[in-house]
């Protein structure tokens, strides 16, 4: 009897555990659209002088507010838990919207991240307070920006500028709190994987169709 129990623990239980977790969040084929066709940035100034657009990119979008340096720990969490895993994907970018006159603070954050990370996919864009409020409003999010024009949450925008998230039984998961590393490691990482899998599956399907033709 003891021998059977040992065999069960060593061989059967791991298989059961794998099947259980494989049937979880990552089994979703698509992440629901929360807000469709969100606005692009237009001619907003960027830290490196390059044009930043949401078109054709999977974007992690954040609003840093005027207290960028005070809240830089949130960006370090995001950098460690998500960015470093996926920054080599050329169609992925991390865009932080900041009020004008915070350019120097943004540069200090980028320099600090650059000490141990390739910061090529980090983007900082700057706009007036009214522009930021207007842009945030069109995302149609449940929560508002704080009085500093910021939020600890970041959002997933797909290549067609759709805001993606989770539609749960009692509410909707619109964003992910960068103050909590565990939320980034679990919920956000799961959802981000779903988005990337969606595009990989579509690319594979298109390639197969091309071969058949």
- Under the banding of pLDDT at 50, 70 and 90, the label for residue 86 is very high
φ, ψ for residue 101 (rounded to 5)? 80, 10
SS3 label, residue 161: coil
- Under the banding of pLDDT at 50, 70 and 90, the label for residue 2 is low
Take residue 172 and report the two structure tokens written for it: 């909707």
This prediction's pTM: 0.82
Separation between Cα atoms, residue 160 and residue 111, nearest integer Å = 31
Given a cut of 50, whether residue 210 has pLDDT beyond it is: no
- Going by C-beta distance under 8 Å and a sequence separation of 6 or more, which residues neighbour residue 78? 60, 62, 94, 154, 178, 184
User: Cα dist. 12→2, 5, 15, 73, 149 in Å?
Assistant: 15, 10, 5, 43, 53
pLDDT digits (tens, 9 = 90+) for 93-102: 999 999 999 9
What domains can be seen in the chain, in order of their start residue?
Answer: 30-205 (3.40.30.10)
- Going by C-beta distance under 8 Å and a sequence separation of 6 or more, which residues neighbour residue 26? 190, 193, 194, 197
Given a cut of 80, whether residue 171 has pLDDT beyond it is: no
Mean pLDDT taken over the chain:
86
pLDDT digits (tens, 9 = 90+) for 105-164: 999 999 999 999 999 999 999 999 999 999 999 999 999 999 999 999 999 999 999 999
pLDDT digits (tens, 9 = 90+) for 104-121: 999 999 999 999 999 999
Given a cut of 50, whether residue 18 has pLDDT beyond it is: no
């Amino acid at each position: 009897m003891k021998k059977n129990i040992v065999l069960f623990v060593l061989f059967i239980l791991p298989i059961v555990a794998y099947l259980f977790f494989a049937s979880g969040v990552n089994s979703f084929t698509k992440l629901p659209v929360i807000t469709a066709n969100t606005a692009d940035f237009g001619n907003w100034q960027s830290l490196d002088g390059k044009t930043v657009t949401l078109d054709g990119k999977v974007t992690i979008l954040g609003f840093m507010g005027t207290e960028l340096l005070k809240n830089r720990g949130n960006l370090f969490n995001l950098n460690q838990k998500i960015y470093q895993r996926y920054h080599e994907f050329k169609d992925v970018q991390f865009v932080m919207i900041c009020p004008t006159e915070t350019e120097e603070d943004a540069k200090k954050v980028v320099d600090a991240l650059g000490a141990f990370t390739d910061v090529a996919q980090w983007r900082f864009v700057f706009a007036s307070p009214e522009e930021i409020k207007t842009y945030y409003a069109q995302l149609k999010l449940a929560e508002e920006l704080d009085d500093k024009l910021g939020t600890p949450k970041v959002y997933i925008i797909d290549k067609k500028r759709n805001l993606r998230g989770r539609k749960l039984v009692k509410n909707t998961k619109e964003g992910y709190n960068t103050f909590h590393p565990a939320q980034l490691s679990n919920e956000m990482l799961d959802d981000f994987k779903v988005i990337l899998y969606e595009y990989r599956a579509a690319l594979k399907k298109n390639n197969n169709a091309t071969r058949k033709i």
